[in-house]
């Protein structure tokens, strides 16, 4: 085996299509770019969303919706969740307790909702409470404190 008789494996290499190298090649003339127009010229680059002159989709569809810039998103925590924490021996439940338990992340705002039953007297501190949650907590002699 010598360097001059090494060849790549059959089918592993593909011949490059040499366009614009005379009519005899079959790819002369317009060099496989079709007829005239912007796409046949060098340097052609269409705008993002350009559909060949057809009205683009972002202009065909109507404007829709509204994003409220002052909306406050709360992470919902139900009373049933607080009940499971109280069964572990906790009586004071605040933001840090919920973060360490893995129910909320440190960037969330917390709202306590009244879904589920509560049997323990708890002191709960959160960003917001639903009416029913506050009533259920205070009915057992607990405290619902808003941050």
Quickly state the pLDDT bin for 146 (edges 50, 70, 90): very high
Domain 74-146 CATH (choose: 3.40.190.80, 3.80.10.10, 3.100.10.10, 2.40.50.100): 3.100.10.10
18-31 mean pLDDT: 93
Instruction: Tell me if 105 sits within 8 A of 126, measured CB to CB.
Output: no
The domain segmentation of the chain, as residue ranges, is 16-65, 74-146
> Does pLDDT of 91 surpass 90?
no
User: pTM value?
Assistant: 0.57
pLDDT in tens, 25-68: 999 999 999 999 988 999 999 899 999 899 999 999 999 899 99
Quickly state the pLDDT bin for 90 (edges 50, 70, 90): confident
**Listing from the earlier edge strand, what are the strands of the sheet with 143-146?**
92-93, 123-126, 143-146
Contacts of 77 (CB under 8 A, 6+ apart): 98, 103, 104, 110, 111, 112, 113, 126
* Of residues 104, 146, 142, the one with CA closest to residue 125: 146
């Amino acid at each position: 085996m010598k360097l001059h008789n090494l060849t790549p494996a059959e089918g592993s290499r593909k011949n490059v299509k040499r366009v614009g190298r005379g009519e005899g090649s079959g790819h002369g003339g317009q060099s496989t770019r079709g007829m005239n127009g912007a796409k046949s010229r060098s340097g052609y680059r269409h705008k993002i969303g350009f559909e060949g002159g057809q009205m683009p989709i972002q202009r065909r569809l109507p404007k829709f919706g509204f994003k409220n810039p002052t909306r406050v998103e709360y992470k919902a925590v139900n009373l049933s969740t607080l009940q499971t924490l109280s069964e572990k021996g906790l009586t004071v439940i605040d933001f840090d307790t919920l973060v360490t338990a893995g129910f909320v992340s440190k960037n969330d705002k917390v709202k306590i909702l009244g879904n589920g039953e509560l049997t323990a007297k708890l002191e709960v501190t959160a960003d917001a409470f639903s009416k029913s949650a506050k009533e259920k907590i205070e009915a057992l002699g607990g405290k619902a404190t808003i941050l």
